[in-house]
Amino acid sequence: MTLRLSRMLKDLFSLPLADARGSVTGSESANGVARSLFQRPVRAAFLAFAVCSLVSAADKKSPMGQGEDESVAVTATVLSPDQIREAVGSDFNNSYAVLEVRLAPKGSMPYLVHLDDFILRSESSGEHSGPFLAASQIAGAGEMVVERKYGNRSNADSPRPLEGTKLEMKDGTKADPTLDALKKKMLAEQTVSQPVSGLLFFPLAKEKPKNLILSYQTPRSRLRLSFR
């Protein structure tokens, strides 16, 4: 944003001195004076609008969902491809839905984090899956192949129901350089007493955040988080 703003300022203010200041010489006509006086507020208004637009775009919040019960508070944010690349060095061709999840335990008892307690569902396609449990499933030497089996539609307006998902690792020889970053960033199974956060990768490709529902089983209840 800084580079774009600098270029805009340069373009707007790289004007002849007379125009930029709105000064008038003895040889200027009445029309020239009017144009000069008119151009100054117009340029200023345009600049203010452009700066506000850029700041607004930069401050746009990512889709987020929240839920809590007596045992834990959960916050999950859907990351964009750019945010995924910034976090781990690759967006993996937009093959996964990636959530940044924060768990804040309540009370004084140790809290067990189990990745199997998370299920992400698409309300548009009916697909659902738990997260990958290890970084090597995403960026190991092999290649992860996701095969989905769909059933028949109940009617013309309904999506085909997902009947099963098969994950297969193909052998490979070259390790993915993002593996170390994933190991550091992914949410790990552990016992905690303080808030903990990390990334969860789900094999749901190119889903719109508004169609996603995250289900999380806590020791007390099942939380359901939507993203807005």
Q: What are the residues facing 112 on neighbouring strands?
A: 191
Residue 170's SS3 state is strand
Q: How far is Cα 68 from Cα 162, in angstroms, rounded to an integer?
A: 29
Q: What are the residues facing 66 on neighbouring strands?
A: 75
**What's the farthest any 2 CA atoms get from each other in the chain?**
85
Query: Can you give the pLDDT of all 228 residues of the chain as single tens digits?
Result: 444 445 554 554 454 444 444 444 554 555 554 455 455 554 555 444 444 444 444 457 899 999 999 999 999 999 999 999 999 999 999 999 999 999 999 988 999 999 999 999 999 989 999 999 999 899 865 555 556 566 676 665 555 565 665 555 555 556 678 999 999 999 999 999 999 999 999 999 889 999 999 999 999 999 999 999
Backbone angles phi, psi at 12, to 5 degrees: -70, -35
Do residues 83 and 61 touch, judged by C-beta distance below 8 A? no
pTM for the structure as a whole: 0.65
DSSP string, 30-90: HHHHHHHHHHHHHHHHHHHHHHHHHHHHHTPPPPEEEEE-SSEEEEEEEPPHHHHHHHHS-
Cα dihedral: 218, 77, 90, 176 (round 10): -10
Residue 91 DSSP label: -
pLDDT tens by residue, 66-108: 999 999 999 999 999 999 999 999 999 999 999 999 999 998 8
Cα dihedral: 151, 152, 154, 156 (round 10): 130
Do residues 94 and 206 touch, judged by C-beta distance below 8 A? yes
